[in-house]
Chain A
Amino acid sequence: MNPTQELAKNTILEAVRGNQPAAQPMPAIPRFHANQPADLVAAFCESIARMAGVVVTEDVPDLDSFVQGKFPDAKVICSAIPEYSGTMKPANLNHWSEASAIDVCLLRSPMGVAETGSILLSDLELQVNTIAFLAHDLVALLDPKDIVENIHDAYEHPHFKQRSYSVLMTGPSGSGDISGVVVHPAQGVKTLTVILSPARDGGSLERNNFKKETSNA
């Protein structure tokens, strides 16, 4: 740290120390779980629909025909999941801005949130973070077993303490900035489709531990 920075830091900290009020206690934070076990899948579907996301609950045996059927004009299909090749993989991108050429992006989310309809994505699943924003349309697989009840549970996910980048994504990009009229998209993806699809491997160790923790809480 250069001398100017050192001085700025010390000046700020000194002023803060001199002015901060008498220390007040940190409250305990409950998890606010509903008393009855909720139908998390139904709640998730309802929540994401409110934010203009689309959920596919029926079985999708063939991802390729699903994508072709839903996005017939798509030419560049980027797949970040091993079970589907698409036309390219995130590793093919030399620069992160090149993701703007992607029509449809497929990936798997490690967690959904029933309260909000959010899915979690991080640099682990995305590999190239921009594929979830510069692509036109996003399709995310989500194991229904990976849906947690609320935001308190969600922030227990290890990604928030381990990954460089994590996002709770809830529906496609939108804006209400012109006259309060909500439009999709704004700057990000035009559509977000979540396919409820059990993970082939039955869940990673990390996920199973996480689910165990949140359900015991």
Chain B
Amino acid sequence: MSRPVDQAKNAEKFLADTVHEQRLDKLLWAMRQRRDAAARLVPEWEELRTLASAIKEHTLSNLSDYLLEFEAKATANGVVVHWARDAHEHNQIVYDLLAKQGTDLLVKSKSMLTEECELRPFLERRGIRVTETDLGERIQQLDDQPPGHIVGPAIHKTTHDVAVLFSEKYGSDPKNEDVPYLAGVMRENTRPDFLHATAGMTGANFVVAETGAIVVATNEGNADLSANTPPLHICSVGIEKIIPTTESLAVFIRLLARSATGDTITQYTSTFRGPRKGAAMHVILVDNGRSERLGMKRFWHSLKCIRCAACMNTCPVYRRSGGLSYGSTYMGPIGIIMMPAVEIRKYSELPFASTLNGSCTNVCPVKIDIHEQIYGWREVMEENGQIQVVKKEAMRVADEVLSHPTLYHIATTTLSTALEVLPHFAIYNRLNVWGKHRDIPEAKTETFHQWYRTHRPNGNEVDRS
């Protein structure tokens, strides 16, 4: 049985290095502000969020039909559809396809699912070289680290870190920290792999049942290159990524980049419906615990996630601790409600890496009740005896706070009142750890109280069903 990941302890190391900690905090908060500015420019923003949430709930509640519809349409388009129950089955399917192709070099674009399945080491152990082609993901690969952020995998690294790493791996100038220079080094070193690889791999942001298409959003164009240049394109995707129609895709595309970086759209938003002439396209539909999560009454909504990372950018704990401290594939608020469903003991402490300030829920483009799920997971940990005595006390305090909206209102409305309340507020959420380094989370544009009034207008009790 694996030992629980101690996120707070891991974060202490990151916090001790103030250069990285302060930089990451500033960078991610700027992203959150760009997200806010982008959202304000869209008058129907809140309506889009409501629609996105409803479309996802509709699709997930009819998932078996949509999966079959996708399979039928994709097959008719000439795509070979595979089904994988778990990570191992997925990895084996990929390997078998590559072996059949005689591939010794795979170019792949960023896919959190392949991280989740630990595909890269699986293939490398079998003699297949894998080149990550997303700049951030490649940096992490070269540094032998997992991604620290689901949109910007190397966002915790400084230009100095990257310059030193590239000089070690590529022989570039370690003193040149100019970002265009560094991006150029990566481009020069990756281009030959695109041209020589005999297989390419992508993930998918969305899978469209109606057309049998997969949709991939990138800024670099590396997914288009990975899928279009070699004669074999393999796409791995979780079964929860399905949406009904191209019409519904529009809603998500309008929300995704704005929520992630504040841009209106990613540079490349690409739809792959079938293989080109003379080439092959395979889609692997992966379960790996998703169908089980669909049956969790309190937690299935987390399957609505479109991986924009807005919840991470806004989270005071994530911003101050860095993604690697979570010791898990998915990190930040969305990670701490997804990972315990994967392995309860290992990730039993993650739900405590939160201030429960509700900011994650406020920014989520598909309206996942993230902070309520965090609280729900804390309860599960208690019920399952996964919780230490100190945290039991913390739960009691959290319970009191959540059942008294007035107190919560005081705790979250303004920066100045938060200052007064936080020492108590902090006891249950491990801000005692954070408090050593930082006092208060930033003031939010929408507070939990405002959210609470919208969602729980008829009473003070939080529905925990």
Residue numbers of A with Cβ under 8 A of B are: 5, 8-9, 11-13, 15-27, 29-30, 32, 47, 50-51, 96-97, 100, 115-118, 123, 129-130, 132-134, 150-152, 154-156, 160-161, 163-181, 183, 185-189
Q: Contact at A19–B219, with CB atoms within 8 Å?
A: no
Q: Which of B27, B159, B222, B271 contacts A186 (CB 8 A)?
A: B222
Tell me, rounded to whole Å, the shortest Cβ–Cβ distance linking B303 to chain A.
Answer: 10
Q: Contact at B276–A155, with CB atoms within 8 Å?
A: no
Within the assembled complex, what's the spacing in Å between the Cα atoms of A173 and B220? 5
- The closest CB in chain B to the CB of A53 belongs to B267
A residues near B154, Cβ cutoff 8 Å: 177-178
A residues near B46, Cβ cutoff 8 Å: none
Q: Contact at B61–A51, with CB atoms within 8 Å?
A: no
B residues near A154, Cβ cutoff 8 Å: 250
Within the assembled complex, what's the spacing in Å between the Cα atoms of A96 and B200? 13
Given contacts A21-B294, A26-B55, A133-B224, contact A12 B267 (CB under 8 A): no
The contact sample of 30 A-B pairs, CB cut-off 8 A, is A8-B89, A15-B291, A16-B67, A20-B62, A20-B295, A26-B248, A29-B248, A50-B264, A97-B194, A115-B264, A130-B229, A133-B224, A151-B250, A151-B265, A160-B213, A161-B211, A164-B272, A165-B228, A173-B221, A173-B267, A175-B183, A177-B139, A178-B157, A179-B23, A183-B183, A187-B190, A187-B194, A188-B224, A188-B267, A188-B268
Q: Which of B191, B222, B273 contacts A163 (CB 8 A)?
A: B273
Given contacts A9-B83, A15-B291, A188-B225, contact A165 B27 (CB under 8 A): no
B179-199 interface code vs A (CB 8 A; 1 in, 0 out):
110110011001100111000
Tell me, rounded to whole Å, the shortest Cβ–Cβ distance linking A192 to chain B.
Answer: 9
Q: Contact at A13–B222, with CB atoms within 8 Å?
A: no
Q: Contact at B155–A180, with CB atoms within 8 Å?
A: yes
B residues near A183, Cβ cutoff 8 Å: 179-180, 183
B residues near A132, Cβ cutoff 8 Å: 224
Q: Contact at B254–A51, with CB atoms within 8 Å?
A: no
Within the assembled complex, what's the spacing in Å between the Cα atoms of A16 and B30? 39
Q: Which of B89, B190, B267, B295 contacts A18 (CB 8 A)?
A: B295
Within the assembled complex, what's the spacing in Å between the Cα atoms of A19 and B297? 9
Tell me, rounded to whole Å, the shortest Cβ–Cβ distance linking B57 to chain A.
Answer: 5
Q: Which of A96, A116, A177 contacts B155 (CB 8 A)?
A: A177
Tell me, rounded to whole Å, the shortest Cβ–Cβ distance linking A123 to chain B.
Answer: 7
Main SS at interface, chain B:
helix
Q: Contact at A167–B295, with CB atoms within 8 Å?
A: no
Tell me, rounded to whole Å, the shortest Cβ–Cβ distance linking A31 to chain B.
Answer: 9
Given contacts A20-B64, A164-B273, contact A134 B225 (CB under 8 A): yes
Given contacts A12-B239, A27-B54, A170-B265, contact A178 B162 (CB under 8 A): yes
Tell me, rounded to whole Å, the shortest Cβ–Cβ distance linking A180 to chain B.
Answer: 5
Q: Which of A164, A180, A181, A187: most chain B CB closer than 10 A? A: A187
B residues near A22, Cβ cutoff 8 Å: 61
B81-100 interface code vs A (CB 8 A; 1 in, 0 out):
01111000100000000000
Within the assembled complex, what's the spacing in Å between the Cα atoms of A206 and B248? 22
Task: List 16 extra interface pairs beyond A20-B60, A30-B47, A181-B179, CB under 8 A.
Answer: A12-B67, A20-B294, A115-B254, A133-B228, A150-B250, A152-B251, A165-B228, A171-B267, A175-B136, A178-B139, A181-B159, A186-B186, A186-B219, A187-B187, A187-B222, A189-B221
Q: Which of A151, A163, A169 contacts B267 (CB 8 A)?
A: A169
Q: Does B246 contact A (CB under 8 A)?
A: yes
